[in-house]
Amino acid sequence: MKSISIYLSLILHRMDLPGPIHDFLLVFLGSGLILGGLGVVLLTNPIYSAFSLGLVLVCISLFYILSNSHFVAAAQLLIYVGAINVLILFAVMFINGSEYYKDFNLWTIGNGLTSLVCTSILVSLITTILDTSWYGIIWTTRSNQIIEQDLISNSQQIGIHLATDFFLPFEFISIILLVALIGAIAVARQ
Amino acid sequence: MMLEHILVLSAYLFSIGIYGLITSRNMVRALMCLELILNAVNINFLKGNIFSIFVIAIAAAEASIGSAIVSSIYRNRKSTRINQSTLLNK
């Protein structure tokens, strides 16, 4: 039992999965993301597209786990899937109407032009990504990281950054959240 | 290899989100596509892991305000078509 717990803690801290499992998880999550993104935009029933958005958010959270950022993965799962997706589902079900099933989604000229622009954006981004040499850029910007990076966990790194470098944005974020919640309640009342 | 896969997937989600945001006739679907765009940008901050927390917090505040605005528009006009853009004039 103790050996199992030590083994699990080593796995969860140093996520060096063996090669084929890593590739299989990447392909699986990537296909989940692609299908979920198509489902958000193309499904006609808005409840189905809200659940497809939930699938996209869970796949992104698993991507964060694969990249060794466990705190961000947990925050994504709690905040996005647990709060924002539920809020969107609430908005969808509260604003129901019989007009949704008459929404035929005709292929207008605007739709075609937008799809042309979006595919051109996607192609230009993909060519830029595949042409850049990322390892040179990452290796030369390692100056402002914490010295003992591999010895402390992800949540401790975030805590150190929040307390030293990003203290002012932390205070501003709390003020923004307070103002946003008060504003949302003031708008949504009678 | 993993870095480029994740960046390509985030570019794909970004373009799908922009397409859905522009061509959706329904305000709640536009909100959902906006969350897609924000998540696509958020997944780019893999190694700068403090900034992702800030983006998540900003997205939460914006989603709450967006749904409050949509519900007040629905309460006033009983329809959520996006091409009636003078809805908050009262």
| CA nearest neighbour of B71 among B89, B86, B60, B87 | B87
| CA nearest neighbour of B61 among A178, A117, A105, A114 | A178
Pairwise CA distance, residues B78 & B56, whole Å? 31
Looking at residue A17, what is its pLDDT?
66
Pairwise CA distance, residues B39 & B31, whole Å? 13
Whether residue A134 lies within 8 A of chain B, CB to CB, comes out as: yes
Looking at residue A165, what is its pLDDT?
86
| CATH number for the domain whose boundaries are B3-81 | 1.10.287.3510
Q: Contacts of residue B69 in chain A, CB cutoff 8 Å?
A: 187
Listed in order, strand segments (DSSP E) in B21-81 are none
Per-residue tens of pLDDT for chain A, all 190 residues: 666 555 554 544 445 667 788 889 999 999 999 999 999 999 988 999 999 999 999 999 999 998 888 999 999 999 999 999 999 999 998 876 655 555 556 778 889 999 999 999 999 999 999 988 777 777 666 655 666 667 788 888 888 888 888 899 999 999 999 999 999 999 988 7
Q: With H, G, I as helix, E, B as strand and everything else as coil, classify residue A188.
A: helix
Residue A131 lies in a domain: no
Nearest to B68 among A56, A67, A184 (CB): A184
Residue A17 lies in a domain: yes
Pairwise CA distance, residues A56 & B14, whole Å? 12
Task: Name the domain count of chain A.
Answer: 2
Q: For residue A115, what is the nearest residue in chain B, using CA coordinates?
A: B19
Q: Which of B4, B26, B58 to mutate to test the interface with A (most CBs of A within 10 A)?
A: B26
ipTM over 0.90: no
Q: Which of B14, B21, B64 to mutate to test the interface with A (most CBs of A within 10 A)?
A: B64
B15/A154 CB distance under 8 A: no
Pairwise CA distance, residues A99 & A105, whole Å? 12
Using 50 as the pLDDT threshold, list the residues of chain B that sit under it.
none
Looking at residue A11, what is its pLDDT?
47
Give yes or no for a contact between B49 and B59, defined as CB atoms under 8 angstroms apart.
no
Nearest to A166 among B6, B36, B50 (CB): B50
Looking at residue A110, what is its pLDDT?
85
Which of these three, A55, A73, A95, is where a domain ends? A95
Which of these three, A73, A95, A117, is where a domain ends? A95
Q: Contacts of residue A79 in chain B, CB cutoff 8 Å?
A: 56-57, 60
Looking at residue B48, what is its pLDDT?
64
Which of these three, A95, A130, A163, is where a domain ends? A95
Pairwise CA distance, residues B3 & A59, whole Å? 16
Task: Go through chain B and tell me how many residues it has.
Answer: 90
CATH of the domain at A26: 1.20.120.1200
Looking at residue B84, what is its pLDDT?
60
- Domain containing A62: what range? 1-95
| CA nearest neighbour of B65 among A142, A5, A179 | A179
Question: What tokens does A73 get?
Answer: 């993965």
Per-domain residue ranges of chain B: 3-81
Question: What tokens does A124 get?
Answer: 């230009």
Residue A121 lies in a domain: no
Pairwise CA distance, residues A132 & A78, whole Å? 34
Looking at residue B87, what is its pLDDT?
57
User: Cα–Cα–Cα angle for B24, B90, A94, nearest 5°?
Assistant: 45
